[in-house]
Every structure is written in C-alpha cells, then in structure tokens.
C-alpha cells in the first residue's frame, strides 16, 4: 500500500511549511561544491509541490533564503540568487500547468534586481491559479517580519488611528506577511537539525513539528507523504485534554 493511499485526504494540512536544509552537506558527500547541492534541491521542490497537488494542500511555504544567509561567502550568495532567477523563470509553465500561484514573503527590496523582476513576472503569470499557493520565503526572517509589524502598528498609534490597548491578536496578524493564509499545521525541517532558524515564529505557535535526517535534495514526494501520515497520527489538543476532543 502506498503512503499516499494511507493518508486521509479529508484531513490533510491546509498549509505545510518547510525549512529546506542540508543542500551543502549533500553536495559535500559527493565531493561537489555547495552550489551543486542547491541546484539539486530544485528537484525536491518540484516533488514536494506535486505531492501537495496530489493531497490537495492549499498552501506550501518554503524557506529559501533567510536574512542571515547573506552572511555566507559571496560566491554562494551570488550563486543562490542566480539559481533563484533561473529557476523562477524556468518553472512558470510547470506552475501554470499544476494550477500553482507563486507568492513570496520577506524583504524583497534587498534582493538583486534580476531576482525581483523574475519574481514579479512569475507572480503575475501565475496570479489567477487557485490550486496551491507556493509561498517562497526570500530574505525572510520571523524577527524581521514581527518588527515590521510592530513598526506599522506604532505608526498607526502615532497618527492616532488606533489606541494602544486596541491592538489585538488579529490586528497584529493583519500586519504580518501572510495575513490571508491560515497558520501552518505542519512544519517540516530536513537534514537532522532541530531548530527553527528564525522561520515563521508567530505562525507556528501550534504547528506540529516534523524533523527528518534526509538532506533536502534527497527529500521526495514519498517523504512528504510520510510526514503528513505522521502528522495525522498526532493528537492536537490546543491546551485541552483528550476527552474534550472526541467531538
Ligand atoms: C539549505 O541548505 C539551503 C539554504 C539555506 C539556502 P544549506 O545550504 O543550509 O545546507 P547545509 O545545511 O549547509 O548542509
Ligand atoms: C535555514 O537554514 C534557512 C533556510 C533553509 C533558507 P540554515 O542552514 O541557514 O540554518 P542554520 O544556520 O543551520 O540555523
Ligand atoms: Mg543549513
């Protein structure tokens, strides 16, 4: 029995978020340069996206470049930006044929022009697709996102538009990047690292966390199905006790 057939498709997560990690180690294992690992990781993105289409997952958020990743050697950063430009341009037809809408979160203003332009073109070209929203976190970090939200709210208070004590969970969330998207129910991190590395800290308050030793370029559609199956075996209590969850 395949893993997909064991999944209850009525109870798949609406939103899956993934920290795609381990490209560098994957490349090193084969005696290749780190960039080869990043290039090979693109195939895993295709696989995971198809898996989301198969399961009817509505939102897929992928951590592609963090605000801290600028601190890597220039050669790697440049290579990653070029890869982003090439990949985004090459994948538009495939995104359209799978009814995928491309979106992004993060501070785009710091990305190279070519990357911003390609991203804008691909977003426009896929805008009316309604199957899966593929949300790329590019120059993203949760602390950047939350500080940004706090600054926007403070400006509204300064202008007298709202009172400080009227700031609520929902008005705060309105200032976050994905304010129309439900929180991820499932967060996956590959490569055997057990940390969040500044990803979606607000939105994953109640996400189920799934860690796997697989390095990102080796992560397959089947691995995604295994993660979802594992998720479906968990009891999400949200602070309650088991007996309260029966209905
Ligand atoms: C994840 O793989 C991709 C990015 C962070 C851009 P890494 O490049 O972090 O690979 P490792 O963790 O060094 O193996
Ligand atoms: C997290 O991976 C960022 C992305 C996957 C884009 P890193 O490899 O940068 O995280 P750390 O440095 O190991 O925490
Ligand atoms: Mg890493």
pLDDT band at 125 (very low <50, low <70, confident <90, very high): very high
Whole-number Å distance, alpha carbon 87 to ligand 3 midpoint, is 20
Question: Residue holding tokens 């590959």?
Answer: 190
Which residue has the CA at smallest separation from atom 14 of ligand 2? 197
Average pLDDT, the chain: 98
Res 187 pLDDT > 80: yes
CA dihedral 188, 98, 11, 185 (to 10 degrees): 30
CA quadruple 166, 169, 172, 175: dihedral sign: negative
Question: Is residue 69 among the annotated active site residues?
Answer: yes
Q: Please give the Cα distance from 20 to 175 (Å, whole number).
A: 26
Q: What is the pLDDT of residue 247?
A: 66
Mean pLDDT of 170-196: 98
Mean pLDDT of 155-183: 97
Q: Is the CB of 195 under 6 A from ligand 2?
A: yes
Q: Is the CB of 69 under 6 A from ligand 2?
A: yes
Res 231 pLDDT > 90: yes
Q: What is the pLDDT of residue 1?
A: 73
Which residue has the CA at smallest separation from atom 3 of ligand 1? 21
pLDDT band at 246 (very low <50, low <70, confident <90, very high): confident
Could you tell me the residue ranges of all domains in the chain?
11-141+183-232
Atom of ligand 1 nearest to the CA of 69: 5
Q: Is the CB of 136 under 6 A from ligand 2?
A: no
Q: What is the pLDDT of residue 8?
A: 98
CATH architecture of 11-141+183-232: 3-Layer(aba) Sandwich (3.40)
């Amino acid at each position: 029995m395949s893993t997909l057939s064991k999944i209850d498709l009525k109870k798949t997560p609406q939103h899956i978020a993934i920290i795609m990690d381990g490209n560098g180690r994957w490349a090193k294992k084969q005696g290749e340069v780190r960039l080869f690992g990043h290039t090979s990781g693109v195939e895993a993105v295709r696989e995971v996206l198809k898996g989301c289409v198969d399961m009817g997952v509505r939102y897929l958020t992928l951590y592609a470049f963090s605000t801290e990743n600028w601190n890597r050697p220039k050669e790697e950063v440049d290579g990653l930006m070029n890869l982003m430009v090439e990949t985004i341009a090459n994948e538009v037809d495939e995104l359209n044929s799978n009814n995928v809408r491309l979106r992004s979160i993060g501070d785009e203003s710091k990305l190279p022009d070519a990357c911003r332009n390609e991203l804008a073109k691909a977003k426009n070209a896929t805008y009316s697709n309604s199957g899966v929203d593929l949300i790329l976190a590019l120059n993203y970090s949760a602390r950047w996102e939350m500080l940004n939200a706090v600054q926007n709210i403070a400006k509204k208070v300064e202008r007298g538009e709202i009172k400080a004590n009227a700031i609520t969970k929902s008005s705060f969330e309105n200032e976050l990047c994905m304010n129309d998207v439900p929180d991820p129910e499932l967060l996956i991190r590959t490569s055997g690292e057990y940390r969040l590395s500044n990803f979606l800290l607000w939105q994953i308050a109640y996400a189920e966390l799934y860690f796997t030793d697989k390095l990102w370029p080796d992560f397959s559609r089947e691995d995604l199905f295994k993660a979802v199956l594992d998720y479906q075996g968990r009891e999400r209590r949200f602070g309650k006790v088991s007996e309260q969850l029966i209905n």
